[in-house]
Amino acid sequence: MNHARKGNSRSLGEWLDGHASTLFITPAVLLILIFSIFPLVASLIIAFSRFRLGAGSYRVRWVGLKNFEKQFFGSEQFHFLGTFEGMSTLGWLVSIIAIAASLYWLARYCFTKFWWLGFIGRIISALMFVALVLLFSATLLSGTQFGTLGVTLFYVFAGCALQFAIGLGLALLCAQPIRGRSFFRVIFFIPLMITPIGIGYAFRMLADTSKGPFSHVWQWVGLGDFAWASDPWAARLFIVIGDSWQWIPFVFIILLAALENIPKDQQEAAEVDGASGWQIFREITWPQLLPVAATVMLIRLIEAFKLVDLPNIMTSGGPGIATESMSLHSYFAWRTLDLGQSAAIAYLLLFVTVVICVSFFNYVVLSRLRHAA
């Protein structure tokens, strides 16, 4: 009896050991398949159907591309893309420049090195770029309002630029020979740990022009009655500032670690040779920082597309739809139980995110890494 059990447990152990390679990776694969891939497919099906929740059950009806059509050409066009009233001269000018630039870029790729998969990828990126420039020309540059797609892109690019600029600046300051570096590091790290909800409400209090802490300043400048939340651009800017306050620490921490990792001998040699601080930064520090910087910005880019809680808390998408990001748009559609539309918008967001992030990864990050290697 005892012997048998022993043999049994040994064979179990042997079986475990023999299948160790499978057992190690199976949980992760299963989790991703069930909670990531399956919902992704299901969401696609929902996006192509009209979905009604009933009492305890739901009905699905296939409607084809109707949900997407509505976003681009139908009743939801103003909401997703924006309002169109013809293109202004400036708009035409910018679009023609963008088209010419992408054609030049494609042509240069064809003449230097050609690989058909790379070419297809570049065509997709170029088309996306031209489409987005056209959208901006037809709405923003022609004096009409743009929809949630434009707002999302504004958050992503304005936010990332601001975070990179300030994050890099702070990292460079902290990399100087200063006292209390770890103190500053801990302090600067704090905003990253605070819930976005809390940040949203805290910034709402701070930005209040009549009861907030800066109300005296506002009154002194003559903006005492100015309400941030009722002006589209002020509201958008306000959300970008809140988002940046939270994410600058992330950029800062990683860039600082990268700066500290750069060997000091080259810098010191350059200093002995009489190079100025700016020259040292441009010729020595910056090239070594670039691979890390590109990757950090890729992470920020990916996360920035998901922004939803700050606009929800700070302005709930208002005034009108001026601060509504695509995630929020989808969430509002879900709240009115229009699941088909919600899924369609989510899929459009996914498409834009993937094309932009993959383009950034292929043309910026990979080339930087190759340069560094």
Partner 1 sequence: MIGKMAPGTAFVVYTLLLLWTLIVLFPLYWVLITSFKTAQDVNNGPFFIPWVDFAPSLHAWKELFVFDYEDTLRSYTNSIIIALLSTIGCICVGSMAAYALARISYRPKFGNIFLFVLAMIGGCVVVWKFGVDWKISIAVALACWFFLLKSIGRFFTKSVGNGDILFWMISQRILPPIVTVVPIYMMFQNLRLLDTHLALILTYMVVNLPIVIWLMYDFMNSIPIELEESAQLDGASRFRTFWEIVLPLARPGLAATTLLVLILAWNEYILAVFLSTSKAQTIPILVAAMNAGERGILWWSMCVVIIIMIIPVVFMAIFLQRFISKGVLLGAVKG
Say what the alpha-carbon torsion angle 214, 217, 218, 220 is, to the nearest 10 degrees. 160
Residue number, 23 or 65, with CB nearest to partner 1: 23
Region near partner 1 per CB under 8 A, out of 81-89, 127-135, 222-230, 256-264: 256-264
Region near partner 1 per CB under 8 A, out of 88-96, 136-144, 225-233, 342-350: 342-350
Region near partner 1 per CB under 8 A, out of 13-21, 120-128, 134-142, 157-165: 13-21
DSSP string, 149-183: HHHHHHHHHHHHHHHHHHHHHHHHHHHSS-S-HHH
Helix (H, G, I), strand (E, B), or coil: what is residue 49?
strand
Element (H, E) at 248: helix 232-261
| Least gap, CB of 263 to partner 1 (angstroms) | 14
DSSP 8-state secondary structure symbol assigned to residue 1: -
Instruction: Say whether residue 369 binds partner 1 (CB under 8 A).
Output: yes
Spatial distance between the Cα atoms of 249 and 193, rounded to a whole number of angstroms: 10
Which residues inside 264-323 make contact with partner 1, applying CB under 8 A?
291-292, 295-296, 299, 302, 305-306, 308-309, 313
Q: Which two tokens stand for residue 64?
A: 């084809």
Instruction: Say whether residue 177 binds partner 1 (CB under 8 A).
Output: yes
Spatial distance between the Cα atoms of 367 and 361, rounded to a whole number of angstroms: 9
Contacts of 136 (CB under 8 A, 6+ apart): 94, 146, 150
Q: Which of 1, 4, 28, 117 binds partner 1 (CB under 8 A)?
A: 28
Residue number, 144 or 215, with CB nearest to partner 1: 215
Instruction: Say whether residue 133 binds partner 1 (CB under 8 A).
Output: no
Instruction: Say whether residue 86 binds partner 1 (CB under 8 A).
Output: no
Residue number, 138 or 297, with CB nearest to partner 1: 297
Helix (H, G, I), strand (E, B), or coil: what is residue 335?
helix
Residue number, 56 or 222, with CB nearest to partner 1: 56
Instruction: Say whether residue 112 binds partner 1 (CB under 8 A).
Output: no
| Least gap, CB of 128 to partner 1 (angstroms) | 15
Instruction: Say whether residue 157 binds partner 1 (CB under 8 A).
Output: no
Contacts of 342 (CB under 8 A, 6+ apart): 46, 330, 331, 333, 334
Element (H, E) at 370: helix 366-372
Spatial distance between the Cα atoms of 359 and 118, rounded to a whole number of angstroms: 11
Instruction: Say whether residue 224 binds partner 1 (CB under 8 A).
Output: no
Instruction: Say whether residue 154 binds partner 1 (CB under 8 A).
Output: no
Instruction: Say whether residue 61 binds partner 1 (CB under 8 A).
Output: no
Q: Is 311:232 a contact under the CB 8 Å cutoff?
A: no
Instruction: Say whether residue 48 binds partner 1 (CB under 8 A).
Output: no
Instruction: Say whether residue 39 binds partner 1 (CB under 8 A).
Output: yes
**Checking phi first, is residue 143 left (phi over 0); if not, alpha (psi -120 to 50) or beta?**
left
Spatial distance between the Cα atoms of 229 and 318, rounded to a whole number of angstroms: 7
Residue number, 24 or 114, with CB nearest to partner 1: 24
Q: Which of 357, 362, 363, 364 binds partner 1 (CB under 8 A)?
A: 357
Number of residues engaging partner 1 in binding (CB under 8 A): 93
| Least gap, CB of 93 to partner 1 (angstroms) | 34
Q: Which two tokens stand for residue 197?
A: 């909800």
Q: Which of 131, 157, 191, 266 binds partner 1 (CB under 8 A)?
A: 191
Q: Which of 173, 230, 279, 282 binds partner 1 (CB under 8 A)?
A: 173
Phi, psi of 115 (to 5 degrees): -140, 125
